[in-house]
Structure 1
Amino acid sequence: MNQKLNIQFPKSITLYIKREDLIHPIVSGNKFRKLKYNLLQAKGENKTTLVTFGGAFSNHIAAVAFAGKENGFKTIGIIRGEELKSKVSENPTLQFALDCGMQLDFISRESYQQKSESAFLSQLNEKFDNFYLIPEGGTNELAIKGCEEILTLEDQKFDYICCSVGTGGTLSGIINSIKPHQKALGFPALKGTFLKDEIRNFVCNENWDLNTDYHFGGYGKVTSELISFINNFYNENKIPLDPIYTGKMVYGVVDLINKKYFPEYSKILLIHTGGLQGIQGMNLKLKTKKLLTIQFHD
């Protein structure tokens, strides 16, 4: 569903948001898209277990835990940070995954950095039986195939398709499915430009770009300005935004509109990639620091 936004900006700009957050109550947004064909592949290979990776407030960990439970898989999450093992009850995301039956395997941050190396993967094969491995964030070719289904015929009227970027899978799927007259614009939640090379491994055209100016300090970092924007956006549009991904992207697009980055009469579509489960954990962090929290009230 595409929803027109109630935001004050030049009337020559058309701005809509695609509510991918509504496609599933738990496995919402891009996680639904990324897992669709991976789950089918795991079933086709007669795998009994899903193994994946994530951090303290990972949308991906929560989604795999629930999807695995619903589809009859045992699930194992390799979690970044051994210090989190004693804090599961204080972490809404990890507690949710545990409640879904996911086995949580906590490893050091140093070991986590080696998760793609052959020696680490060999250890997984020795440790776990008959498993299907899903990368961190869920990005692989099957995930991108799922994300290529985000856009519909109705969306061909838009000039710009904008989405947040974590591992690059969602944007890659969008890039592969847009039409020649369209441009995809990604807003990374992480610092740096390294994602461009990752995305180039999966895409087939060049009508896209990344804007790296709206990460608000890096992955998982937020400011009171961003939280205020998210709260005001909800008050005006009744659409919740997560502070890690979509909130930053929407802030960036609105700021670019006000700075006249987009040509007159541009039609812009924002992709809401879900991630709302992480708000509870973020609010807990903000409360401990006595900072402004995310408030969704009618």
Structure 2
Amino acid sequence: MSFKKFDFPESPIQIIEHPLLAQKQVILKVKRDDLLHPHIAGNKWRKLKYNLIAMQQQNKSAFITFSGPFSNHLYAASMACKLFALEGHAIVRGPHLDIHNPTIRMARACGVQLHTVDRATYRLRHNDDYLMELQQRFAHCHIIPEGGSNQQALVGVQELANSLPKSDYVMCATGSGGTLAGLINASSGTTSVIGIAVLKQAEYLIDEIIRLAPKAKQKSNWQLMCDFHDGGYGKFSTALWQFCKMMKKDCKLPLEPIYTGKLFYALWQLLEQDFFAPGSHITAIHTGGLQGLDGLRYRQLITN
């Protein structure tokens, strides 16, 4: 069985130039995983890749996953269905489906079968009994968790980690914890790995990261910073959005304010606080998600 169709060329590294970086004598490189593939960008593809391989190895003919209605994961999974002619199902947090939502429109156009559930049912997405019942109902499907974060995902993130330049710090935005767990797994003791939590009260993710990557319990070279969520998941301030626009204009780095914007906004605040010693080399992971800007425009949360 060949899996070469799932291989894409590695994404590029961009060196960022900015007066604050020069002032603090810090080198910042960005792993542009938003450019990993023209249609399935960033960590969502890293996580999906080995789930799709596992699906084929288990002789499953389809997959089923979970997502919110504006999810980057849903977008990536839908595009994978279109590109690789796969059958895909998504359990979408509802209870109602807005067919004008650009992410939902794209998923339907790609042929993904959407199953809406109420919020109480959606909260069962990690429940073993519910998952067993779901597996019986969709016996031909490989189950992929919300966000794609599982052991298969960590193999994809390992590939990302192996492609990074030698750094004193590696930083990423953290939603479900899978990307951070994979980076911790692959990190050397000389590199500090920092996750910037994008949701409020995210300390619970530390246990999830250790569950995904047991090595993390013995490692002391990583941390999850939980004070840069800017209001919580899906929320952002005017100041953060203005920062995103500044980074695109001045540094040629496109960002969105839900994930990558919070990462770089936090990084800039840490620079101003002299968190990084002069001479430090930082690699920040651009995990993609730029198509999420369409959803923010649709909801009139941004205007340009």
Q: TM-score, normalising length from structure 2?
A: 0.90
Q: Distance in 2 between matches of 1:58 and 1:38?
A: 18
Q: Percent identity?
A: 38
Paired residue type of 1:237: C
Partner of 1:111: 121
Shift of 1:154: 5.5
Paired residue type of 1:215: H
Structure 1 residue 66 and structure 2 residue 56: aligned? no
> Which of 52, 63, 68 is residue 39 of structure 1 equivalent to?
52
- Note if contact 1:66-1:97 (Cα within 8 Å) is conserved in structure 2: yes
Structure 1 residue 139 and structure 2 residue 144: aligned? no
Partner of 1:82: 95
Partner of 2:6: none
Shift of 1:218: 0.9
Shift of 1:282: 0.9
Q: Distance in 2 between matches of 1:6 and 1:95?
A: 38
- Note if contact 2:102-2:298 (Cα within 8 Å) is conserved in structure 1: no
Paired residue type of 1:179: S
SS in 2 for 1:191: coil
Shift of 1:44: 1.2
Structure 1 residue 173 and structure 2 residue 182: aligned? yes
Q: Distance in 1 between matches of 2:138 and 2:58?
A: 16
The runs of 5 or more residues in structure 2 that have no matched partner are 1-11
Partner of 1:263: 277
Residues 13-36 of structure 1: CA deviation (Å, up to 9, x unaligned): 111111011011121110111111
Shift of 1:148: 1.1
Q: Distance in 2 between matches of 1:4 and 1:263?
A: 18
SS in 2 for 1:194: helix
Paired residue type of 2:91: I
Partner of 2:109: 99
Superposition pairs of residues 1-298 of structure 1, within 5 angstroms:
1-9=12-20, 10-83=23-96, 85=97, 87-89=98-100, 91-152=101-162, 155-156=165-166, 158-192=167-201, 193-203=203-213, 204=215, 205-287=219-301, 292-293=302-303, 295=304
Q: Distance in 1 between matches of 2:163 and 2:37?
A: 21
- Quick one: structure 1 residues 271 and 259, their matched pair in 2 at CA, closer, same or farther if it must change by over 3 Å? same
Shift of 1:69: 2.8
Q: Distance in 1 between matches of 2:261 and 2:48?
A: 23
Shift of 1:46: 1.4
Runs (4 or more) in structure 1 with deviation over 6 Å come to: none
Q: Distance in 2 between matches of 1:150 and 1:233?
A: 23
Aligned residues: 286
Q: Distance in 2 between matches of 1:151 and 1:129?
A: 34
Shift of 1:126: 4.2
Q: Distance in 2 between matches of 1:115 and 1:210?
A: 24
The runs of 5 or more residues in structure 1 that have no matched partner are none
- Note if contact 2:24-2:278 (Cα within 8 Å) is conserved in structure 1: no
CA RMSD of aligned residues (A): 1.4
Q: Distance in 2 between matches of 1:238 and 1:15?
A: 14
Q: Distance in 1 between matches of 2:142 and 2:14?
A: 37
Shift of 1:221: 0.7
Q: Distance in 2 between matches of 1:162 and 1:123?
A: 38
SS in 1 for 2:82: helix
Which 10-residue stretch deviates more, 123-132 or 49-58?
A: 123-132
SS in 1 for 2:299: helix
Which 10-residue stretch deviates more, 63-72 or 185-194?
A: 63-72
- Note if contact 1:50-1:68 (Cα within 8 Å) is conserved in structure 2: no
Residues 3-60 of structure 1: CA deviation (Å, up to 9, x unaligned): 1112221241111111011011121110111111111110111111110000021011
Q: TM-score, normalising length from structure 1?
A: 0.92
